[in-house]
């Protein structure tokens, strides 16, 4: 009996040692030298894998940051907080990560926009709507109200309001920019949160047509550009804001006939 | 001829997943995408085959002569755990994305009952060395086939209009059941 016990112990011990030796050898041969910093950086990232940084996911971003190929403040979701943590891990100065927000540059909801004679009854998706007929509204530049942006938002930071336009919950929004990417008409643009002056219209039609398709369209009168002293420039029938030169005080917001140019700061 | 029959039997007729219901955990867990499901199948096949070889050697060369059959469970678990460690190292070295895609299910091959089941079947059915190898290969092929088919169905399922109550795991299990029914059709083959 006792010999059996000893044999059992010896056999199992021997087998264990054999496998342990084999694994130790394999470990030496196959060891992957991964920078331990990558794991640490990965841990402080939000883990949403949204791709807002332009990398294939949070892990890929971590690898790039550690290798110096991506900026420390490159994660728009984590913002300053994450940038600070990464900076601590890597022992470098952090840059200031500017919070980006999507802006819906169209005010032509169901009330304002003029409808076509026919009604759109196809699939409710902006992509389908733009391909098939352009939707109910006459305006060929504005929001079609299919809600692709709302559906694409991974953080539930958007909703469609009663007027059929998307609204952004700025507190929840992380600025990943997915909504701007899915918008087939590029009505949604990403801007730093500090920017407050926007032309909330994308209509490039000539003034007469613009007036006919939407009550709040920019009619391209150019008054904002003339008064802005270079801060705003007319391109075709639409004013384009040069945020570097813009002086908010010069813009005659109340002179805009359709109210297409707004200062969000004053609205709220 | 005998070995080919064993191979086909293990791969199709007595498919480990769809007939014995062994290894359901990775079968459900990693069958989201065909590519990672296939890789999982290959990794499991490797572990199954090598386990078949090593456990046969250990059982018939060491445990049986020393009358230590009662240690078979411990010995097999030791073999499986070490092999999975090895596979994990290899995959981490060869393909980082695959390593991350498989995630926790890679170390969980250790607790994949299909592998311990295979080792025990070999002992139970008294397979010869060559037979064991083909049995392991067959079981692995069967597992790979089942998990890849499942992943293909689940990729389509993503687009299907599934009732809310059945979304996710329930519909997956129902599909697995139907798949198992389909595989029962092979039972008259041998």
Dihedral-angle region of residue A45 (phi above 0 means left; psi in -120 to 50 means alpha; beta otherwise): beta
Considering Cα of B111, then B112, then B118, then B121, what sign does the dihedral take? positive
pLDDT band at A30 (very low <50, low <70, confident <90, very high): confident
| pLDDT, average across residues A149-158 | 90
The residue with greater pLDDT, B189 or B150, is: B150
Q: Is there a contact between A8 and B63 if contact means CB atoms under 8 Å apart? A: no
CATH number of the domain enclosing A176:
3.30.70.20
What DSSP state is assigned to residue A198? E
**Does residue A257 fall inside a structural domain?**
yes
Report the b/e string of B95-108 with b at 16+ CB within 10 A.
eeebbebbeebbee
What is residue A97's predicted lDDT score, i.e. its pLDDT? 59
Tally of domains within chain A: 4
Looking at the fold, whether A147 and A105 belong to one and the same domain comes out as yes
**Does residue A177 fall inside a structural domain?**
yes
Q: How far does A23 lie from chain B, in Å, by closest CA?
A: 7
Q: Beta A188-192 vs A166-168: how paired, if at all?
A: unpaired
Express each pLDDT in B52-80 by its tens digit: 999 999 999 988 888 888 888 988 998 88
Q: Do residues A58 and A39 make contact, with C-beta atoms less than 8 angstroms apart? A: no
Percent helix, percent strand, percent coil in chain A, to nearest 5: 40, 15, 50
Looking at the fold, whether A26 and A40 belong to one and the same domain comes out as no
Mean pLDDT taken over chain A: 85
**Does residue A219 fall inside a structural domain?**
yes
What is residue B152's predicted lDDT score, i.e. its pLDDT? 93
Looking at the fold, whether A199 and A183 belong to one and the same domain comes out as no
The residue with greater pLDDT, B181 or A96, is: B181
pLDDT band at A212 (very low <50, low <70, confident <90, very high): confident
Looking at the fold, whether A83 and A143 belong to one and the same domain comes out as no
**Does residue A224 fall inside a structural domain?**
yes
**Does residue A96 fall inside a structural domain?**
no
Q: Which residues of B touch A1 (CB under 8 A)?
A: none
Q: Which residues of B touch A11 (CB under 8 A)?
A: 62-63, 66, 68, 71
What is residue A268's predicted lDDT score, i.e. its pLDDT? 58
Residue with tokens 């689940």: B154
Q: Beta A232-235 vs A166-168: how paired, if at all?
A: unpaired
- Nearest CB among B67, B93, B100 relative to A59 is that of B100
Q: Is there a contact between A16 and B78 if contact means CB atoms under 8 Å apart? A: yes
What is residue B104's predicted lDDT score, i.e. its pLDDT? 73
Q: How far does B94 lie from chain A, in Å, by closest CA?
A: 9
- Nearest CB among A15, A32, A59 relative to B58 is that of A15
Looking at the fold, whether A207 and A230 belong to one and the same domain comes out as yes
Sorted by sequence, the CB contacts under 8 Å of residue B9 that are 6+ apart come out as B138, B190
What domain range includes position A246? 195-268
**Does residue A201 fall inside a structural domain?**
yes
**Does residue A111 fall inside a structural domain?**
yes
- Nearest CB among B78, B90, B92 relative to A15 is that of B78
Q: Using a cut of 0.80, tell me whether the model's pTM lies above it.
A: no
What is residue B151's predicted lDDT score, i.e. its pLDDT? 93
Specify the range with the lowest mean pLDDT, choosing from A82-86, A169-173, A263-267, B64-68: A263-267
Q: Is there a contact between A16 and B74 if contact means CB atoms under 8 Å apart? A: no
- Hey, what's the torsion of the CAs at A39, A41, A45, A49, to 10 degrees? -60
**Residue A156: count of CB within 10 angstroms of its CB:** 10
What is residue A95's predicted lDDT score, i.e. its pLDDT? 58
Looking at the fold, whether A180 and A219 belong to one and the same domain comes out as no
**Does residue A148 fall inside a structural domain?**
yes
Looking at the fold, whether A149 and A120 belong to one and the same domain comes out as yes
For residue B145 the two structure tokens come to 């086939």
Mutate to test the interface with A, among B46, B86, B90, B119 (most CBs of A within 10 A): B86
Q: Which residue in B has a C-alpha nearest to residue A19's C-alpha?
A: B82
CATH number of the domain enclosing A72:
1.10.15.40
Mutate to test the interface with B, among A15, A33, A57 (most CBs of B within 10 A): A15
What is residue A150's predicted lDDT score, i.e. its pLDDT? 92
Express each pLDDT in A48-93 by its tens digit: 777 778 787 888 888 888 887 887 777 888 777 888 888 888 877 6
Cα(A121)–Cα(B81) distance, integer angstroms? 59
């Amino acid at each position: 009996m006792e010999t059996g016990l000893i044999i059992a112990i010896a056999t199992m011990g021997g087998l264990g040692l054999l496998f342990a030796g084999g694994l130790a050898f394999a470990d030496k041969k196959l060891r992957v030298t991964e920078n331990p910093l990558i794991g640490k950086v990965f841990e402080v990232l939000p883990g949403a894998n949204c791709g807002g940084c332009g990398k294939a996911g949070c892990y890929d971003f971590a690898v790039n940051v550690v290798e110096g190929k991506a900026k420390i403040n490159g994660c728009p979701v984590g913002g300053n907080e994450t940038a600070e943590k990464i900076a601590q891990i890597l022992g470098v100065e952090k840059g200031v990560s500017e919070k980006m927000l999507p802006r819906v540059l169209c005010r032509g909801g169901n009330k304002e926009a003029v409808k076509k004679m026919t009604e759109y009854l196809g699939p409710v998706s902006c992509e389908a709507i733009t391909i098939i007929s352009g939707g109910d509204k006459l305006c060929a530049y504005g929001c079609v109200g299919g809600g692709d942006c709302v559906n694409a938002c991974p953080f539930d930071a958007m909703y469609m309001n009663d007027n059929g336009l998307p609204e952004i919950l700025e507190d929840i929004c992380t600025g990943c920019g997915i909504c701007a990417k899915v918008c087939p008409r590029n009505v949604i643009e990403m801007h730093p949160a500090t920017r407050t002056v926007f032309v909330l219209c994308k209509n490039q039609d000539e003034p007469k047509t613009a007036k006919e398709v939407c009550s709040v369209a920019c009619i391209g009168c150019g008054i904002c550009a003339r008064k802005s002293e270079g801060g705003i420039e007319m391109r075709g029938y639409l004013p384009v804001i040069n945020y570097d030169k813009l002086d908010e005080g010069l813009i005659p917001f109340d002179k805009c006939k359709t109210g297409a140019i707004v200062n969000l700061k004053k609205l709220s | 001829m005998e070995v080919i029959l064993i191979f086909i039997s293990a791969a199709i007729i007595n498919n480990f997943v769809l007939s014995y219901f062994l290894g359901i955990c990775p079968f459900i867990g990693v069958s989201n995408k065909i590519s990672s499901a296939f890789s999982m199948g290959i990794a499991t096949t490797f572990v199954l085959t090598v386990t078949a070889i090593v456990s046969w050697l250990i059982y018939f060369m060491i445990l049986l002569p020393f009358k230590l059959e009662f240690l078979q469970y411990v010995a097999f678990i030791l073999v499986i755990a070490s092999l999975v460690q090895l596979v994990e190292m290899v995959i981490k070295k060869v393909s980082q994305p695959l390593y991350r895609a498989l995630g926790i299910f890679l170390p969980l091959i250790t607790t994949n009952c299909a592998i311990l089941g295979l080792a025990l079947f070999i002992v139970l059915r008294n397979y010869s060395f060559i037979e064991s190898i083909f049995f392991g290969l067959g079981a692995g092929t069967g597992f790979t086939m089942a998990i890849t088919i499942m992943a293909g169905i689940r990729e389509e399922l993503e687009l299907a209009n599934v009732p809310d109550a059945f979304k996710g795991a329930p519909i997956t299990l129902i599909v697995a059941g139907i798949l198992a029914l389909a595989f029962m059709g092979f039972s008259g083959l041998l």
